[in-house]
Amino acid sequence: MRAGRRTSQFRLESTGGLPPNRTTFFSAMHLADILTPAQIIPEMRATNRWEAIDELVEQLVIAGRVKPEHRQDIAAVVKKREQSMSTGIGFGVGIPHAVSDLISEVVGVLGRSSKGMLFESLDNQPVTLVILFLVPQGQFQKHLHTLSNIAKNLHNADFRSALAAAPDAASLYQVIASIRPGR
């Protein structure tokens, strides 16, 4: 009985406190699953969250992850979500995200700003790391689990420091890939 409780507790902790179900263990995505070096901006030009969203969506277009004709609609859905509440979670991190029927798989893009951006974060501090991700319509569980994994990784000070020290997109990706389970 006690072992069952431990297992259940572990499952709850490993799923971000969500009740375990059949999809819980298979639906979570990690940063390395949704990024490539082409989806990383080592030094963003944006000075605020609205410019950051536009710049990150543009990078998804450049990387071939979002169709050019969907650029404005994708940016609009992310901005609409951001208007309801800032996704600046503190620690210099912003995680704008949205659900869209204009994509068929989870996609993400990471941007870094050495100067920091105004993001209306929970701690009122500038944001230096922004990860924007999009989840296809109808994949709410995947959306929650992906958000949970990204937030958990970015709450780690050593991980954030390693990202800040990486000199270029390829190095940033190597840092991200190093936290992927099984590596």
Q: Which residues are catalytic?
A: 97
Rounded to the nearest 10 degrees, the angle between the axes of helix 49-62 and helix 71-84 is 150
Residue 27 has a CB neighbour count (10 Å cut-off) of 18
Cα separation, 85 vs 148, whole angstroms: 17
Cα separation, 106 vs 99, whole angstroms: 9
Hey, is 141 helix, strand or coil?
A: helix
For 42-136, strand residue ranges (E) read 88-90, 93-94, 97-100, 107-117, 127-136
Q: Which residues is 165 bridged to in the sheet? A: none
Structure tokens at 93: 């991190």
